[in-house]
Amino acid sequence: MTDDDCQNPLYPQDAGLTVPEMEAVARAGSMERAQSPGELICIVDNTSSDAVPVITHDLAHSYQELMDYRHANVIADDAPWTYWTLSDVWAASQPPLLPPSPGPPPPDGWNWQARVNPYGISEPDIWSPMITAPGYTYVVQIDPSVVLLASPGFETRLLFTGGLPWVSGAHLSDVYVGEVVAPWVASQLHHVTFNGGYNDVGGVLLEQITDPIPVGINASRGLLVSFVVQAGVVGGRQTEPGWALRLQAGNHAADLDKSGAGWTPGTWASVGVLTVDGFYVAGTSATSELDAGDYLLGNGSTRALAFSGKASRHGQSRASADRRLEPPRTVSSGHAGSRQLWRPGGDPHRR
């Protein structure tokens, strides 16, 4: 042996070995490299030798299966061939990997959290004095399976349908919205106003957007919307997957528990409410702390976030948000004066 250990590739593992022993180790290493220079890939089914040893995986393919593969790939029966190939050679023959999808952008501005007819226009499909009765409380429960955006925004508003041009307008009062904690039970209900008042879609025709409330609603377990019909006709949906309706005589809109006796299942899936919307500001803690799956799959935060707090600290004020709004659209009410419906730029509502 030489004192120059750089000339000996087995040093220091061969310290104390005799020359014949060192030669035997070298031969064994050479044979191992010749038989398996690294990870091998079975080109028949893309199995890696690192996952299943070659000697084991060889039993997975019959002679006929291998011959069929040769013929399908125009390999002559007498041509040298093995169905194992180097992983680098195999990788070079594979199609390039596509970059991962960036996913949906975080919500910004007004976005639907839930709406009827989510693949079309959110509008009633039934108008009849028989579907609503004055003096009754109606509650609509929206199942989390049909929620479009579960995480809470900074504000919440609702789109209601009213009366028809040839029928007196709908009059509602005591509209509440909240998150579900158990079937037909809300953890908290938030009072919603129309044009600054707690009463009614006063004779407005077709539809009315409520005033936004400075509270985000967590819809991961569903939503409850309740209101009292004072007079007139309210449109509804005959069938709507994931939406359900109950009613009871009297004013019970503010009751958190609407699961008990006295509540009657509605004939239709929904009346009155068409959409529940949340206002979001991209890049703020209300959205950036959640990933895209939280927005779409119902895993949102349980916090209710006020717009005036975190959003304003990110340069987003209520006034700057309002600058996104287009001029108001006027809808004739059939009475003296008119009602105005705001339509934000990029607003999800049609028309």
One domain, residues 79 and 116: no
Pull the structure tokens for residue 73. 């790939």
Peptide bond preceding 12 in cis form (omega within 30 of 0): yes
Q: What is the pTM of this model?
A: 0.57
Distance in angstroms (rounded) separating the CA atoms of residues 90 and 43: 8
Cα 259 to Cα 23, 244, 247, 256: the distances in Å are: 85, 12, 11, 9
Distance in angstroms (rounded) separating the CA atoms of residues 218 and 292: 15
* CA end-to-end distance (rounded Å), the chain: 91
290 in any annotated domain: yes
Amino acid type, 180: V
One domain, residues 284 and 232: yes
* Alpha carbons within 13 A on the beta-carbon side of 44: 20
Per-residue confidence (pLDDT) for residue 157, from 0 to 100:
95
Domain that holds residue 26: 19-92
One domain, residues 60 and 137: no
Final residue in a domain of this structure, among 60, 92, 124? 92
One domain, residues 235 and 323: yes
Final residue in a domain of this structure, among 58, 92, 126? 92
One domain, residues 124 and 245: yes
331 in any annotated domain: yes
One domain, residues 85 and 140: no
The CA angle 105-217-120, to the nearest 5 degrees, is 60
Per-residue confidence (pLDDT) for residue 199, from 0 to 100:
64
One domain, residues 28 and 164: no
Residues of the chain with pLDDT under 70: 1-13, 29-37, 128-132, 163-169, 198-206, 285-351
One domain, residues 54 and 180: no
Q: Would you tell me how many other CB atoms lie within 10 Å of the CB of residue 202?
A: 21
Per-residue confidence (pLDDT) for residue 90, from 0 to 100:
84
Per-residue confidence (pLDDT) for residue 169, from 0 to 100:
62
- Summarised one tens digit per residue, pLDDT across range 298-314 is 333 322 332 333 333 33
Q: Would you tell me how many other CB atoms lie within 10 Å of the CB of residue 139?
A: 24
One domain, residues 260 and 126: yes
Do residues 9 and 30 touch, judged by C-beta distance below 8 A? no
Partners of residue 225 on adjacent β-strands: 140, 177
Amino acid type, 295: Y
One domain, residues 86 and 114: no
Do residues 33 and 43 touch, judged by C-beta distance below 8 A? no
Per-residue confidence (pLDDT) for residue 111, from 0 to 100:
94
2 in any annotated domain: no
- Summarised one tens digit per residue, pLDDT across range 36-94 is 567 888 989 999 988 888 888 888 888 889 888 888 888 888 887 888 888 888 888 88
Domain count, the chain: 2
287 in any annotated domain: yes
Do residues 272 and 160 touch, judged by C-beta distance below 8 A? yes
One domain, residues 87 and 168: no
One domain, residues 155 and 73: no
Pull the structure tokens for residue 81. 């061939």
Per-residue confidence (pLDDT) for residue 126, from 0 to 100:
81
